[in-house]
Amino acid sequence: MKSFERREKVSRAIMREISNMLQAGAVKDDRLNKFVSIVDVDMNPALSSAKVLFSVMTTGSDIDSMASTVGVKAALNEHSGYIRGAVGRKLNLKYAPRLIFVQSESLAKAVDLVDLIDRTVEKDDENREHRIS
């Protein structure tokens, strides 16, 4: 049980530190100019590697946002060694876990769900107006 608690504590700390680094602009890369949010960190039981789920807030066409997200993922994975070292030093970890950045679809799904709800409410209102008339 203690192992799970430690893993959760280290995951939250890593998530907080990576978020702070990205927000402060500590990672110098033009591809990271977008709003990048660290959604979750999933560590393996040995604490040797961590899957870092991120999401990118984009505006514009689907093609632009897709290219932007691919660029952000590439930039994060290219700088993962630097981020790993900085996080390890900041958290005073003897062995910093290897970081693997993976895009999370949760934000996009939430936006789609809100859009679907809005359209359903609109359609329901239209149907109600037609029945009254």
Residue ranges of domains in the chain? 2-104
Question: Is domain 2-104 in CATH 3.30.300.20, yes or no?
Answer: yes
- Range from 13-27, 81-95, 119-133 carrying the lowest mean pLDDT: 119-133
Average pLDDT in the 95-117 region?
A: 82
Residue partners of 36: CB distance under 8 A and separation at least 6: 22, 54, 55, 56, 72, 76
Q: Return d(Cα 126, Cα 123) in angstroms, integer.
A: 5
Average pLDDT in the 43-71 region?
A: 76
Q: Return d(Cα 99, Cα 101) in angstroms, integer.
A: 6
Q: What is the mean pLDDT of the chain?
A: 82
CA neighbor of 41 nearest in space, from 92, 7, 71: 7
pTM of the model: 0.73
Q: What pLDDT was estimated at residue 50?
A: 93
Residue 52's DSSP bridge partners are: 41, 101
Q: What pLDDT was estimated at residue 88?
A: 92
